Every structure is written in structure tokens, then in C-alpha cells.
Chain A
Amino acid sequence: MRGTLTVKGAALLIWALLLFAPFLFQDVRQIEVAARIAIFIVLVASYDLLIGYTGIVSFAHTMFFGMGAYGVAIALKQMGPGWTPVLLGSAAGVAVALVLAVGIGLLSLRVKAIFFAMITLAAASVVLVLATQFSQFTGGDDGMTYRTPDLFKPATKLLVDAEGKVLSIAGVKMNGKIAAYYFVFVISAVLFWAMLRITGSPLGTVLKAIRENEARAEGIGYRVVAYRTAVFCIAAGTAALAGATYAVWLKYTGPQTALSFSIMIDILLMVVIGGMGTMWGAVIGATLMVLAQYYLRDLMEVAAGATANIPLLPELLNPERWLLWLGVIFILLVYFFPSGIAGTIIQKGDKA
């Protein structure tokens, strides 16, 4: 149990840091990173339900994320700021994601894994093209900026002091920015908790059984296609909700932030780094990867500066080469943590 406790402890510590992030990290960029981590934890955990728990390889997860994001973005753009467009847009995004997930699931979850993966890839490509082509609704390649509910305006006073000015707690102003961060945090935490409940429930056990041996699961009476379709829908709906939340946070939605394949690759890397089929691994994987994306360049700049007098090294450590180093880190992680960080710690710790 030692390994499991270590991983849970680390993941809970990350959640605790996210909970107090506005008080611990007051820089705008740091809050941006914290919100992105919270959203990506949900996105990665919902993808882990597919790939880690059920053994379904899909490349359409970003597509579902994008549907939620575009739902909210289009609604806010067309209807103006307010809660009604946020709710309607989220509901529409989730509904479209669910319909598409049921369609793809029922039509193609019977086929072999590789064909299913190809079908999801095709669907995601079509949606990406549609989003850029229907520019009158989606803003095309440029995407859309829009205003969110007044509660999230930086000028909004959540709490006021005796003089009617915005109240500061521990040096942090209780304004709309705080409200927006906690909007993201609470939704992410609730969605993550819901997925934890799913994996701990009998449904989670059935999913693991299907991953291990479909024929045996069928033999003891489980309709594998129905379960696979159901989990595909749950993951799609959750990704769409994460997308809708992210759209409210960013106040911008475009192909690069909501539909691009580089997000899909990020999700895959985060699942693999964290550890497939562990759920807690999603927290660790998403955190490390987002931190690396934001801070590896800074770190390399410092390292390049420190090694300025040594030949060759500053060239190698040039911040422009951060992707190269991210690749090296990824290879090392896979080598030393073959089952992902959480997976390997759980295996080794529980054996000891």
C-alpha cells in the first residue's frame, strides 16, 4: 500500500496547491498555469478512462474538448455575456459531443482497436476543418474572443472593505479574476472526483475486466460494446465540460487552444508520463507536463546564462531548443518509469 499512498499523497498535495494557488502564486502567468493544470487534469483523467481503464485508443478527445469550448464561445459571442449562454453553450457542446460519441461508439467500437483509432482520427480532422471553414460562426483560424459573465470581470468586487474598496485577503484582491479561477478549480475538482467515483465503482471493475480480456468479460455476461460506448460517452461529455470551462477562463476559443492535434499529443504524453489506469497519475502527468511547457524555457535560459563561458553547452541549452529537452526528459521518464510515474511508484511501493 506504500506506493499507492505516496501517489495519492502527491496528487492530493497538487490539488491542495491548486486550491490555494491564487494566494501562493500571485503572478498572472502562474495563475494561468494553475488553471491550465486543473483543466488538463480533467482532460487527461477522462482520457485515462478510455485508454487506461478500458483499453480504447481514441484520437478524438481534443475534438470533444473543442465542442464544449466552441459551444460556450459561440453562445457567448452570439448572445453576449451572461450565465444563460454559458449554460446553453455548455449543454449544446456536451450534447453534440455525446451524440457524436454514441454514433462513433456504436458504429465502430466493434471493430479492431487500430481501425477505431483511425476513425476517431478522421472524425477529429473533419471537425477541425469544419471549425476553420465555418468562420462566420467559429471565427475560422483566428478563433473568437468574447466577454464572459460580469462576475468574472477583473473590476468586479467580490468582497468589499469598510470603505467600499475591493477587499484583500493575504494580499490577494477578491475580484472577478479570483472568481474565474475558483470557477475553473471547483468544476475541475468535481469532475475529477466524479471520475474517481466511477473507477472505484463496479462499473470501473467492469471496464478493467474489458481491458484485460474482452471475450472473458462477454462470457460472464457483460455487453462489451455497450460498456465501451458508455465509457466513450462519459469521457466525451467530461472532455466537453472541461472545454466549456476553459473557454470561460480564456475568453478566447480558437483551433489552437481547443481543437489542435498538438493538444491531443499533450494529453497522450500526460497520460503516459502520469501512468495509465491510475487516475491519480493524471494529476501528476498533467502537472509536470504543463509546468515543463511553461517553465522549461525559463529554466534553460538560466542554465544557458550560467554556462555562458563553457563551449557548446550554452548552444545546447538555448531556450529555443526546449522541445528537444522536453523530448529527452520524456525518454528518460519512460525509461525509468515504464508504467508512468504513478504506475511505477504504485507497483514498486506495493511490492516492497
Chain B
Amino acid sequence: MSLLSIQNLSVSIGQYAVLHDVSLKVPQGGVFVLLGRNGAGKTTTLRAIMGLWQPSPGSIRFDGEDITSLHTSDIAKRGIAYVPENMGIFGGLTVAENMVLATANGTYDPQRLDWVYGLLPALKTFWDKPAGALSGGQKQMLSVARAIIEPRKLILVDEPTKGLAPSIIDAMAEGFREISAETTILLVEQNFAFARSLGRDMGVIEDGQIVHTGTMEAFAADAALQDRLLSLSAEGAA
């Protein structure tokens, strides 16, 4: 059974129909990558899952339960964490306060925190500093750390590599690999090399519709398909 199942989801923002009849199944475990060009509807899909946009119509089932009309806070309580594209951190709050916000009752398990420090060492150094003073990569790491400070069932990650240096992207890929051993990740990404290194299953969204689903292995091997769907064959081969 799939962990997350989206059925015939349509979302309109104002007068614009952004998603049309999207159906997607994210299996339990590993990294599911949702690829697509700018403006294809990737972020809207994640925001709809989190209840930040209301579907009209459509249904979203998570872990056997219909979460379509739940409030965002209740969806988060079901075990879904969201790492938004713009990092979504609170710059005026310290790193520690940002982390407290992500916990259910304001306390962390020290062992878990050590594990997070191991994955993202910069956090320990800047623990008492305002998050706004962190570099772009560090902010992104804080955003990821917030999502994993407590065990979750699913983490939605929106373009984590955007604007980051290659060395940081490599470290981040390593981190996601380790996180995906315990938690399913739904990753939205434009950086195909990064996505390919992590993804087990994948889908492609275009103009608000799912145009392809399958395994990453098969997709990575099919240059013609990549070229047709993403115009990425040159980057993909690189």
C-alpha cells in the first residue's frame, strides 16, 4: 500500500487552475522525486498536501486516512513535515528557537539531536545565533533539521539545492540518503543530477498534470524521455 495517495487533485489559485486531475502514489520508504519545469505545479502539489491550498475537487489519503480537508496543523500532527522552497525559517529567532518550533511539546530527545548535529554540524556552532545570520546553505540545513528533529512518516522537500554551492549539495545528498533510511521523502527538484542520485521512484509534472511515473533507474536510462519531458538530457548526462 502506498503511504500517500493523491486522487484526481485539482487546485485553483484565484482564477488560475494550477493543477488538473493530478493522481500520484508515493510508496512507503525511500525518496520519491517529483520533477518538472518552473511553474509546472510542483510546489502547489506539496502545498496542497500540507493543506495550504484546498483542492477543488480531489482527495489526498495519507497512511490510510483521508487528510484532504484537515487543517495544516492537524496534517503536521499526522507525521508530515514540510521543508519549503524559501527555507521557511524564522530569521529573527535563534537556531534553537527555530528547532523548538518543530517539536510537538517543546523538548527534544538528546540522542535525536546528536544525530541531527551529526548530519548537519553547522547547527551546533550557531545554536544560539539568530537564524537570519546564517548563510543560504546553513538556512537550508536548519530547515531540513527542523523537519527531522522528531521522527516523521513523510517529509516534503521543495527544491533544497536551489542557489547552493556544489559542495553543500553533495553534503545535503548524503544527509537525505541517511534520512530516507527511516522516513519517506517526497522531493521536488529541478537539479536532475541531485534528484537522480537520491530517487527510487519518480514522477514528472507538466502544466499541472502528471505526465510520467516510474522508477528513477528507468527514467535516468532513457535520454529521449528526459529530453521530451524536461529538456534535460544534456544536464542529465553530465
* Docked-complex contact A216 and B100, CB < 8 angstroms: no
Interface check B167, CB cutoff 8 A: no
Interface check A327, CB cutoff 8 A: no
* Docked-complex contact A202 and B88, CB < 8 angstroms: no
Interface check A221, CB cutoff 8 A: yes
* Docked-complex contact B106 and A202, CB < 8 angstroms: yes
Contact of A216 among B73, B77, B88, B106 (CB under 8 A): B88
A216→B81 CA distance, assembly (Å): 12
* Docked-complex contact B82 and A219, CB < 8 angstroms: yes
* Docked-complex contact B90 and A201, CB < 8 angstroms: no
**Minimal Cβ-Cβ distance residue in B for A224:** B73
Main secondary structure of the interface of B (DSSP, over half): loop
A218→B103 CA distance, assembly (Å): 14
* Docked-complex contact B97 and A218, CB < 8 angstroms: no
Interface check A135, CB cutoff 8 A: no
* Given A208-B90, A209-B90: A220 and B146 interface contact (C-beta under 8 Å): yes
**Minimal Cβ-Cβ distance residue in A for B50:** A219
A221→B146 CA distance, assembly (Å): 12
Chain B residues near A209: list those with CB within 8 A: 90, 93, 97, 101
How far apart are A344's CB and chain B's nearest CB, in angstroms?
A: 16
A220→B100 CA distance, assembly (Å): 12
A222→B90 CA distance, assembly (Å): 14
Interface check B76, CB cutoff 8 A: yes
A220→B73 CA distance, assembly (Å): 7
* Docked-complex contact B76 and A220, CB < 8 angstroms: yes
A217→B52 CA distance, assembly (Å): 12
* Given A213-B90, A216-B90, A219-B88: A208 and B73 interface contact (C-beta under 8 Å): no
Main secondary structure of the interface of A (DSSP, over half): helix
Q: Contact residue range for chain A? A: 10 to 19
Chain B residues near A208: list those with CB within 8 A: 90, 92-93, 97
A206→B76 CA distance, assembly (Å): 15
* Docked-complex contact A212 and B90, CB < 8 angstroms: yes
Chain A residues near B52: list those with CB within 8 A: 218-219
Chain B residues near A205: list those with CB within 8 A: 93, 97, 100-101, 106
A208→B101 CA distance, assembly (Å): 10
* Given A205-B93, A209-B93: A223 and B106 interface contact (C-beta under 8 Å): no
How many residue pairs link A and B with beta carbons under 8 A? The number is 56
Chain B residues near A212: list those with CB within 8 A: 90-93
Per-residue contact bits, chain B 60-77, to A (CB 8 Å; 1 contact, 0 not): 000000000001110111
Contact of B76 among A202, A213, A216, A221 (CB under 8 A): A221
Q: Contact residue range for chain B? A: 20 to 34
Interface check B199, CB cutoff 8 A: no
A206→B77 CA distance, assembly (Å): 16
A26→B76 CA distance, assembly (Å): 58
A221→B81 CA distance, assembly (Å): 9
Chain B residues near A222: list those with CB within 8 A: 73, 101
Interface check B123, CB cutoff 8 A: no
Contact of A221 among B72, B89, B97 (CB under 8 A): B72
How far apart are B188's CB and chain A's nearest CB, in angstroms?
A: 15
A202→B100 CA distance, assembly (Å): 7
Per-residue contact bits, chain A 219-251, to B (CB 8 Å; 1 contact, 0 not): 111110000000000000000000000000000
Of B75, B77, B92, most buried by chain A (CB within 10 Å of CB) is: B92
Interface check B84, CB cutoff 8 A: yes
Chain B residues near A220: list those with CB within 8 A: 76, 81-82, 88, 101-102, 146
A9→B88 CA distance, assembly (Å): 35
How far apart are B79's CB and chain A's nearest CB, in angstroms?
A: 11
**Minimal Cβ-Cβ distance residue in B for A202:** B106
Chain A residues near B73: list those with CB within 8 A: 218, 221-223
* Given A206-B101, A209-B101: A219 and B84 interface contact (C-beta under 8 Å): yes
Interface check B125, CB cutoff 8 A: no
Per-residue contact bits, chain B 103-146, to A (CB 8 Å; 1 contact, 0 not): 10110000000000000000000000000000000000000001
* Docked-complex contact B101 and A219, CB < 8 angstroms: no
* Docked-complex contact A202 and B71, CB < 8 angstroms: no
**Minimal Cβ-Cβ distance residue in A for B80:** A221
**Minimal Cβ-Cβ distance residue in A for B106:** A202
How far apart are A275's CB and chain B's nearest CB, in angstroms?
A: 14
How far apart are B83's CB and chain A's nearest CB, in angstroms?
A: 10
Chain B residues near A216: list those with CB within 8 A: 84, 88-90
Residues 194-230 (chain B) with a chain A CB within 8 angstroms: none
**Minimal Cβ-Cβ distance residue in B for A222:** B73
* Docked-complex contact A223 and B71, CB < 8 angstroms: yes
A320→B101 CA distance, assembly (Å): 52
Chain A residues near B72: list those with CB within 8 A: 218-219, 221, 223
Chain B residues near A217: list those with CB within 8 A: 101
16 pairs from A and B in contact (CB 8 Å cutoff): A205-B100, A205-B101, A206-B101, A212-B91, A212-B93, A216-B84, A216-B88, A216-B89, A218-B72, A219-B72, A219-B88, A220-B76, A220-B146, A221-B72, A221-B73, A223-B72
Please name 17 further chain A to chain B contacts, defined as beta carbons within 8 Å, in addition to the given A216-B90, A223-B73, sorted by A numbering: A202-B100, A202-B103, A205-B97, A208-B93, A209-B101, A212-B91, A213-B90, A218-B52, A219-B50, A219-B52, A219-B72, A219-B84, A220-B76, A220-B82, A220-B101, A220-B146, A222-B73
- Kindly list the 7 A-B residue pairs having the minimum CB-CB distance in the complex, ordered from nearest: A221-B76, A202-B106, A221-B73, A223-B73, A205-B97, A212-B90, A216-B88
